[in-house]
Amino acid sequence: MQQDLGDGLVMRAAVTADKKAIQDTVEKTFGKEVGPIVEKLFTYHPDFPVSDHFLIMDTRKNQVVSYFCLSRTICVLNGTEIPVGAMEVVCTLPEYRHRGFIRRLNELFEQRVEEYQLPLLVIIGIPNFYRNFGYEYALTFNGTVTVPTEVIPELKKGEEEPVLVEEITEQTFNQYLRAREHHNSYLDFYRKLTPAEYAYLTHGKLGDDSAYRFFILKEGTSVVGSFMLSIGWGFIEVNELWVDNLAHVPSVLRFLKGVSKRH
């Protein structure tokens, strides 16, 4: 998995020693807040071989100039588990763009996909661009509702929250996963999460790109809701929200307002 492209450029699978150079390129492309994802992929992902990272190196500058990786996961389609490969963290330094590097790296990517015999590939990216690599546009991702903090209703004097928000730890992650099944019961297609992924998903501080925190809602001893939380691009993002009663939503919003003030 190594090819000399000429002019000091070499295309190959990554090795552990490339981690810092890859992180530098990712940060130059997307910003410092995205850099921690490289550390997470190399160190904390439970099933991510270093050789599933692909790069083009300018050996004259010892600089990674183009990069992406193959992330494997399990998705559930109408109750059937399917191995899925995802093209992740696609980037090329500005001064090296428009030279077909991503197309070349895709050759290594597809070679590895064949080795793994993955039946389905996905990428969250520019809808039409990735048709160049054989992808078909599937669906709009992450429809959102934006809630300004000033419209969130406060509790009345003497009132207490009817439900409490409890942060999940590694020891209680299974509680979140069980609650998540209520959310997923409404979906035809979703990503399966496992307890082994807890450290990978939560590594980093809230505000790092792709650093998540997980929560359940409790009414007494009963779990009545769940959601995951991240901060990016100036927003607090709530994903996979499930509540067994819409009356619990104001409690979630008041909790999020407190988080927004702290950050």
**Average pLDDT for the chain:** 92
Residue among 5, 107, 101, 8 nearest 63 (CA) = 8
Residue extents of the structural domains in the chain: 2-131, 149-262
Per CATH, which fold does 149-262 belong to?
Answer: Aminopeptidase (3.40.630)
Extract long-range pairs of 16-22: CB within 8 Å, 24+ residues apart.
Answer: 16/42, 16/50, 18/53, 18/55, 18/57, 18/64, 21/57, 21/62, 21/63, 21/64, 22/53, 22/55, 22/64, 22/67
- pLDDT, residue 144, reads 83
pLDDT in the model for residue 226: 98
> What band does 256 get if pLDDT is binned at 50, 70 and 90?
very high
pLDDT value of residue 209: 67
Let me know the angle formed at the C-alpha of 69 by 237 and 173, rounded to the nearest 5 degrees: 45
Three-state DSSP class for residue 198: helix
Among positive and negative, which fits the CA dihedral 64, 48, 143, 129?
positive
What is the mean pLDDT of the segment spanning 23-49?
91
pLDDT digits (tens, 9 = 90+) for 182-191: 999 988 889 9
C-alpha 29, offset from chain centre = 17
3-state percent breakdown (helix, strand, coil) of the chain, nearest 5: 35, 30, 30
Same CATH fold assignment for domains 2-131 and 149-262: yes
pLDDT digit string (tens) for 113-168?
999 999 999 998 887 888 888 899 887 776 788 999 999 999 999 999 999 999 99
The pLDDT of residue 44 is: 92
| Distance in angstroms (rounded) separating the CA atoms of residues 119 and 73 | 12
Residues 202 and 208: their CA atoms lie apart, in Å, by 10
What per-residue confidence (pLDDT) applies to 129? 84
pTM: 0.88
Task: Write out pLDDT tens, residues 191-241.
Answer: 999 999 999 999 888 877 678 999 999 999 999 999 999 987 778 899 999
Look up the CATH superfamily of 2-131.
Answer: Gcn5-related N-acetyltransferase (GNAT) (3.40.630.30)
Q: Is the pLDDT of residue 111 over 80?
A: yes
For residues 27 and 39, the answer to whether their CB atoms sit within 8 Å is no
Distance (Å, rounded) from C-alpha 38 to C-alpha 89?
9
